[in-house]
Chain A
Amino acid sequence: MEQHPDHSRTTLDSLAPLTRAEILSVDWDSLAPDEGKRLRALGLDEGARVAIAHRGVFFGRDPIAILIGRTTIALRRTHARAMTVRTI
């Protein structure tokens, strides 16, 4: 193994664009209940495979567009920070 497993582990908001990753865990308590519900309904849950497609407007780094399956989902960095991912 060339790489320590922890090196591939990060939160979704700091994932480099177009890097494929799997969601390992989601800190649901840090999200508002309805937002958690919506994210889950959109498939952003443990085990989902995601990648960041777009990030930010002008100089900002918000919002983020996530590719999941064949959909693109927009969310904010605060949501992405609650998700721990592993690059694949």
Chain B
Amino acid sequence: MTRLRTAALVGNPNAGKSALFNALTGARQKIANYPGVTVERVSGRMTLPSGEPVELIDLPGSYSLDAASPDEEVTRQVVLGEFPGEAQPETLVVVVDAANLEQHLVFAQEMIALGRPTVVALNMVDLAERDGLAIDPDALSDALGVPVVPTVAVRKRGLDALADAMDAAPGQDISTRHDVGHLTLPERRLAARNMVKGAILSESGERRLHTHLDKILLHPWLGPITLFALLFVMFQAVFAWADPLIGAIEGVAELASGFVTAAMPESFLRDLITEGVIAGVGSVVVFLPQIIILFAFILVMEQSGYMARAAFIMDRLMAYVGLSGRSFIPLLSSFACAIPGIMATRSIADPKDRLTTILIAPLMTCSARLPVYTVIIGAVIPATSVGPGIGLQGLVLFGLYLAGIVGAMAVALVLRRTATKGAASGFIMELPKYQLPPLRDLAIGLWQRAWVFLRRAGTIIFAATVILWLLLTFPKADPGESQLDASAAGHIASFMQPAFEPIGFQREMTLALVPAMAAREVAVASLATTYAVEAEGEAETEQALRGQIAARWSLPTALAFLAWFIFAPQCLSTIAVARRETNGWKWPAVMVIYLFALAYIFAGLTYWSAVALGL
């Protein structure tokens, strides 16, 4: 087998590298991990004009080869060919922001000095023009000694010329490059300044869009208010906008179940499909719209450049608990899923800061909790309005998110004074230019997230529901005995029940906690399957499940169950990622123990106080 030629995209953070990568490779990307470290290895394939296929790698954004974070260390090792098991890329494509050349050319010079075939993509030339800045690529090319191609990744401009230059790159004459290999940082910076001076065709002092936006979004008062309003809208949207879509998916599930029931004779297999597969997996898949809405908000915040402003605003608050605004980004991502959240902590340079952020990330309400919250809130909280556009159910959901956040802050405060004690962390961060998120990049991002979720539903959740259905169905009950009492699952639940009885949990809730270790949303699938088997009936829709819960659970019990899920570390993948990130079992063990302890205590407190209040 002939090995593909490889090319790597390198550049400063915020140079528009990922957008260029998306434009060059399309949606067919492979996301994996570099062995040993959890930095994502993003690669894709493109075909050069000569017809030669090339594997293109998108390396983490870097300011310098003198690495200051795990991310930058990966870039350094890969481009130097020192990364074990990773071939040194034949061609380097250095992406620079046309409007920020003085800074980006510093790293570009470092890359060019490596002496590899190199092409510079002068990216975002349209935004530079909007800011009144016109650059001469030829002058820049003369100064750098390598081809410079103007591109606008989000509009697919300049891609053909870039591919041509990549095609021709291996034949480059390295001797035309100026010897920049031994320059110091100040010397490179001076060189960059002179190159920019020589390459600027025109520059006007036009006010830039982002200074106007920042006046509001970074305003000491308006900034935080805007951020909190945005977050509130986000959580309301997750509830309100998804409803019609959820209804549609439920309709499909019901149709499918009806079709199977009509088409197949009464049999073990038919029950497995309707009660096990459709009831179980279906009850999880209905949450796809909510997860997509949540990810859409987060991706738009990231791609528009607003996320860094949110970090700026949150820095003061995070400083109170010994963290920095940098931790806000992984923590906000953790609202979608703790796994990418924990992986995003690698941009935090301070090790203790990073460890604290990893330990509290599971407290952010991830999308896997949404199914649990939604079903139970839908069952026990009335759908009344408490104000214009504010529903009581949405408010309770907001409260659950808030409880997770407050819990995380309290835990961080304690950790920074005990386990992760150390000097207060700093906050240094570039605030990128604002830009309209390109729809294609947004769509690719959403598709990748949706696919991960559906794959989970098709594998882990599918397997967990089928096993659970089997445990619930066998052994068969004698006449007069309930199926749950007789089944193997019932016996497991009865064994665990004494521990959970005091905090108000019923047996089927205790039972739901076991398969939910695989993934939280399985708790819903488990309840759905349990009630479906018990009722000996059709597949349970989410609507029917809500009905069952409303009829069977008292309010204190339901609230205790919600409180449990704020804290409980019920996700094996998160624990596995935490182990990989912290290189050992010590910290994941600390995480699991403290989270289970908090879950039990708070579920108990919730139950006892709700009972005492007569709810």
Contacts and interface: CB of A to CB of B under 8 A. Distances in A.
B426 A75 contact: yes
Contacts of A45: 185-186, 189
B349 A34 contact: yes
A70 interface: yes
Interface string A25-39: 000000110110111
B427 A76 contact: yes
Contact of A38 (B68, B214, B311, B317): B68
A71 B430 contact: yes
A60 interface: yes
B315 A62 contact: yes
B319 interface: yes
A60 to B, nearest CB: 5
A74 B429 contact: yes
B313 interface: yes
B423 A42 contact: no
Interface in B83-123: 99-100, 102-103, 106
B423 A32 contact: yes
Interface string B199-211: 0000000001011
Interface in A5-49: 31-32, 34-35, 37-43, 45-47
Contacts of A75: 426-429
Contacts of B429: 73-75
Interface string A53-88: 111111110110100011111111011000000000
A43 B193 CA distance: 11
Interface in B423-445: 423, 426-431
B189 A62 contact: no
B312 interface: yes
B430 A42 contact: yes
A46 to B, nearest CB: 8
Contact of B316 (A34, A60, A65, A78): A60
B214 A72 contact: yes
Interface of A: 31-32, 34-35, 37-43, 45-47, 53-60, 62-63, 65, 69-76, 78-79
B359 to A, nearest CB: 21
B214 A58 contact: no
A54 B427 CA distance: 15
B131 A74 contact: no
7 contacts: A38-B63, A38-B428, A41-B106, A45-B189, A62-B316, A71-B103, A71-B430
B211 A53 contact: yes
A35 B210 contact: no
B325 A43 contact: no
A81 B99 CA distance: 29
Interface residues of B, number: 41
Interface stretch (B170-178, B218-226, B507-515): B218-226
Contacts of B100: 69-71
B431 to A, nearest CB: 4
A63 B319 CA distance: 10
Contacts of B186: 45-47
Contact of B325 (A40, A74, A78, A79): A74
A69 B102 contact: yes
B64 interface: yes
B66 interface: yes
Contacts of A43: 102-103, 106, 189
Complex A-B, nearest 6 residue pairs according to Cβ-Cβ distance, in ascending order: A41-B63, A72-B431, A54-B218, A57-B316, A74-B429, A63-B315
Interface in B294-327: 308, 311-313, 315-317, 319, 325
Contact of A74 (B211, B308, B423): B308
A63 B311 CA distance: 10
Contact of A73 (B64, B214, B430): B430
A38 B211 CA distance: 23
A37 B76 CA distance: 15
Given A39-B428, A43-B189, A70 B316 contact: no
Given A53-B211, A63-B316, A74-B428, A34 B350 contact: yes
Nearest to A53: B214
B64 A58 contact: no
Contacts of A71: 100, 103, 430-431
A23 to B, nearest CB: 12
Nearest to B313: A57
Contact of A79 (B315, B316, B317, B428): B428
B426 A35 contact: yes
A65 B214 contact: yes
The CB with the most chain A CB atoms within 10 A, among B223, B224, B349, B430, is that of B430
Contacts of B428: 35, 38-39, 42, 73-76, 79
Contacts of B313: 57
Nearest to A69: B102
A63 B312 contact: yes
B496 to A, nearest CB: 47
Contact of B68 (A41, A69, A74): A41
Given A42-B63, A58-B224, A72 B189 contact: no
A38 B103 CA distance: 13
Nearest to A45: B186
Most chain B CB inside 10 Å of its own CB: which residue of A41, A53, A59: A41
Contacts of B220: 54-60
